[in-house]
Amino acid sequence: MTDTPPVYSGSRRILSGIQASGALHLGNYLGALKRFTQLQDAGAPCFLFVADLHAITVWQEPEKLAAQTREIAAAYLASGLDPARSVIFPQSAVRAHAELAWVFNCVARLGWLDRMTQFKEKSGKHKERASVGLYTYPVLQAADILVYKATEVPTGEDQKQHLELTRDIAQKFNNDFGVPGFFPIPDPVIQGPAPRVMSLRDGQAKMSKSDPSDLSRINLTDDADTIAAKVRKAKTDPEPLPETMEELEGRSEAKNLVTLYAALSDQTKEAVLAEFAGQGFGAFKPKLAEVAVAAMAPVTAEMRRLMADPAEIDRVLADGAERASAVADPVVDEVKRIVGFWRA
């Protein structure tokens, strides 16, 4: 194993989410889903939500959003999360997230948000046309985490800056209101063999659900032929694979494919290079497609099976929302008391 989860003890609580913004991809699987299951199986209490409030920071078709939410829930279950042990729920079904986010909007500083690189990337050249929600997204994310007083947040590398903001918000709330320790300062858990999977079309951009090019990513629902075709078309360079990882510096597309092979076959990158050094991508790509299909086929099959039974998914989500609210609502009640809001 290249990817040993930490051993958990004491009063820990794990929180993470995935946006209901489209098809899940290999980056979500390796950077998030697989890690959640490892944490759950190591005995950590996990709260995992489908981020539908986050999803609408960019346009989502209303008639598709609920189906997208169920699809993420199906991926949670298919990748090994057990609703008896982990709490799986839609973010919008627990009102406390949005309520705490408002208070945090008044704690976070504009200067902090101005530094967020993901907003700059996602808003592109026309920042004035982006939704206000896209700008304050990291504040809602802080509420998602702190409303459960979560101690650890497993995510991909792209969320690092947002998690630092969450820590700053927790600290400032505790200081401003004179309640030291009220919110824990949560630790980012950015680990695993592939915390930043890159696009198959551009080695400088991360693989994303919202990338307009479907060729940029391998979706969890792609069949074997589609995966093989996408890997074949993946951007590379004409050089053969080298013997060491150092020699892959500056070859971002090649490095990404080696990282993927290693993560999918549970080997180190060095072991992969030992096997393929001197060979070109013509030989390497079909093997990569094979390991991708082998690793993902069971998850994909289980996702399809689950999606054929939306009533079962809905039962899991409704039960999860109830259990999540039972933890989050008292925290928001306490925040309201701390802030000094009126109550009878």
Q: Which stretch in 13-21, 83-91, 167-175, 325-333 sits in contact with ligand ATP by CB under 6 A?
A: 13-21
Minimum Å gap between C-beta 157 and ligand ATP is: 6
Alpha carbons within 13 angstroms on the beta-carbon side of residue 205 total: 16
* Active-site residue, from 125, 127, 172, 206: 206
Rounded CA-CA distance 144/16 in Å is 8
User: Which residue in 34, 64, 120, 122 is the catalytic one?
Assistant: 122
Tell me whether residue 120 is one of the annotated catalytic residues. no
x/- mask, ligand ATP, residues 148-167, rule CB under 6 A, reads -------xx-xx--------
Q: With binding defined as CB under 6 A, does residue 320 bind ligand ATP?
A: no
The answer to the question of whether 99 is labelled as a binding residue is no
Window contacting ligand ATP (CB under 6 A); options: 61-69, 105-113, 189-197, 282-290: 189-197
223 CB neighbour count, 10 Å cutoff: 12
**Is residue 188 involved in binding ligand ATP (CB under 6 A)?**
no
Question: Is 209 labelled as part of a ligand binding site?
Answer: yes
Q: Is 206 annotated as a binding residue?
A: yes
- 285 tagged catalytic: no
Choices 179-187, 202-210, 243-251, 294-302; region in contact with ligand ATP by CB under 6 A? 202-210
Annotate 53-96 with DSSP letters as a single string: HHHTTS---HHHHHHHHHHHHHHHHHTT--TTTSEEEEGGG-TH
For 202-230, the DSSP string reads: -TTSB--TT-S-GGG--BTT--HHHHHHH
Residue 21 is assigned to a ligand binding site: yes
Q: Is 19 in the site for ligand ATP (CB under 6 A)?
A: yes
- Residue 155 Cβ vs ligand ATP, minimum distance, rounded to whole Å: 3
Helix, coil or strand: residue 276: helix
Is the CB of residue 143 less than 8 Å from the CB of residue 186? Answer: no
Contact predicate 101/59, CB 8 Å: no
Minimum CB–partner distance for residue 109 and ligand ATP (Å)? 24
Judged by CB under 6 A, how many residues of this single chain contact ligand ATP? 20
Contact 278, 240 (CB under 8 A): yes
Q: Which stretch binds ligand ATP (CB under 6 A): 75-83, 139-147, 168-176, 203-211?
A: 203-211
For the bound state, the minimum distance from the C-beta of residue 308 to ligand ATP, rounded and expressed in Å, comes to 24
> What's the Rg (C-alpha) of the chain?
21
Binding residues for ligand ATP restricted to 21-50, rule: CB under 6 A: 21, 27-28, 31-32
Per DSSP, the residues of 226-239 read HHHHHHHHS---SS
The vertex-321 CA angle with 10 and 147, nearest 5°, equals 50
Closest CA to 196 of 181, 188, 207, 183: 207
The residues of the shown chain that bind ligand ATP, judged by CB under 6 A, are 16, 18-19, 21, 27-28, 31-32, 155-156, 158-159, 195-197, 206-210
